[in-house]
Amino acid sequence: MERKVYFYSPDGVRLCGILTTPSAKTDRCVILCHGLGEGKNEWGGFHRRLSDTLVGAGFATFRFDFRGNGESGGKSIDICTTGEAEDITSAILFIKKAGYRRLGIVGTSFACGPVLLVAPKYQGLVRSVVLEYALVDYNSILKPKFAWPKKAFGKQSMQMLKEKGYFKIYGERDSFKLGQKFMDDVRRLKPWKEMRKLWIPILYIHGDKDDKVPYADSVKYSKLGKNSRLETIKGSVHGPEGKDAPKVKRIIANFFENTV
């Protein structure tokens, strides 16, 4: 069963989520956190399909829109790592209040940084974490190696930010704007350092042909956790596409079945 719900962040932003429950009662729930400029279904519906797989395995799922995205309140210009961390915290507390006592979290791309800021505080309630195509080292934004981040966060965008107070990461005609809060957090935070605080199981999933976030980052940072590992998706770019999607869904479902 699928139910739309609303809840609030600590700073008062109204957030929208979808709680999906299996036919049998469970105290296990997986929270799905989407990437930058996406939404609660992520990657053309991948998180909706992942939810179906997890519910079929007996889990409840909770996928939600971060502030400034989808059906949630706020503006994209106010999106930042710390704001998304607050949204994840609110999602955890909402699900706990709903009666779920064993949680898993999936972070996707940019959301992996906020997930790492929050997860150490809730170990025990949060039993394990999946980081998909993880952006946890903001040098990928500040010193980009690939064409898309060079364009999205390059000199032209920073000049636009200086002149207009925002920049557009998906082209001049796109309405998705980021602002100074985003860049301030990117310049001061190092989410990968939080790995050292985590003792719960962490699974990195990353394509070795990722063209937005370096695969080498997941190779490096997956070694920092006390109980973490990397699953490489051969030939995959940024996100599971085509034949990769069913494989990634199975990997995630199997991981949570053994850890949550």
Full pLDDT tens readout for the chain, 260 residues:
999 999 999 999 999 999 999 999 999 999 999 999 889 998 888 999 999 999 999 999 999 999 999 999 999 999 999 999 999 999 999 999 999 999 999 999 999 999 999 999 999 999 999 999 999 999 999 999 899 999 999 999 999 999 999 999 875 556 789 999 999 999 999 999 999 999 999 999 999 999 999 999 999 999 999 899 999 999 999 998 778 999 999 999 999 999 99
- At 37 the pLDDT is 87
CB-based contacts of 12: which residues, under 8 Å, 6+ apart?
A: none
Contact between 92 and 112 (Cβ < 8 Å): no
* 214/220 Cα distance (integer angstroms): 10
Tokens 């704001």 sit at which residue?
83
* Amino acid type, 6: Y
User: Tokens 């609303």 appear where?
Assistant: 6
The reported pLDDT for the residue numbered 171 is: 59
Do 98 and 5 form a contact (C-beta atoms < 8 A)? no
Fold type of domain 2-137+191-259: Rossmann fold (3.40.50)
Q: What is the pTM of this model?
A: 0.96
| Nearest alpha carbon to residue 114 among 143, 80, 90, 146 | 80
Cβ neighbours around 116 below 10 Å, total = 29
Angle formed by the axes of helices 155-164 and 180-188, nearest 10°:
130
Check: CB of residue 244 under 8 Å from CB of residue 236: yes
d(CA 37, CA 7): 20
